[in-house]
Chains A and B, each alone.
Chain A
Amino acid sequence: EAQVTQNPRYLITVTGKKLTVTCSQNMNHEYMSWYRQDPGLGLRQIYYSMNVEVTDKGDVPEGYKVSRKEKRNFPLILESPSPNQTSLYFCASSLYSGVSNYGYTFGSGTRLTVV
């Protein structure tokens, strides 16, 4: 089944403890992206990647890191999480990032709580 898989689905952690949220897609998509969703603010892009080894900042990149060493994986890293990073996170992928856009396929989300 074509899908974007995020893990974990739920995570509670303490301030300052490094964590990684994994994202993997099995559709050979070039474009991948991370969003956070907060009440009243909708979806805000954190980072995106046009292809392997190509990443760029979105609207709210502070406090996050990403890497794209393989086409299928795009992990989100929080080196020192803080309570304001408590949110619902979504990974998404798309076949192409240019004109021929097919829309995103989203993962099921990761609900992160930082205490």
Chain B
Amino acid sequence: AQSVTQPDIHITVSEGASLELRCNYSYGATPYLFWYVQSPGQGLQLLLKYFSGDTLVQGIKGFEAEFKRSQSSFNLRKPSVHWSDAAEYFCAVGQSGGSYIPTFGRGTSLIVHP
């Protein structure tokens, strides 16, 4: 069965600093990978997704993620964090082919200090 681990429950960064949120997955074949962001009081919004091809994926709001098969990772990065990036971030993995039932990680809460 597929699974997703987000090792960090909370991450604190200063505004303007770089950010990396970790995501490790377990899945036998090539996975479909997603990052979602949940702002306070809101639903989840898709930041970016990886299906195949280039392992560095660009998303919205200046985020990017890199798929590393050898490390079973799909870490989310941003070179310079803004205060409005403070939110909960979820990594998700889905199956390629057949029915799609994604599995979500437990989330990482990003705190941004001025």
Contact = CB atoms under 8 A, between A and B. Distances in A.
A98 B100 contact: yes
A41 B105 CA distance: 9
Contacts of B45: 106
Interface stretch (A12-20, A42-50, A60-68, A73-81): A42-50
Interface string B91-114: 000101111111011110000000
Contacts of A92: 43-44
Interface string B20-54: 00000000000010101000011111100101000
A98 B99 contact: yes
Interface residues of B, number: 24
B67 interface: no
Given A42-B90, A96-B100, 14 more contacts: A42-B105, A42-B107, A43-B90, A43-B107, A58-B101, A98-B97, A98-B98, A99-B96, A101-B94, A101-B100, A102-B49, A104-B36, A108-B41, A109-B42
Interface of A: 4, 31, 35, 40-43, 45, 48, 50, 58, 90, 92, 94, 96-99, 101-109
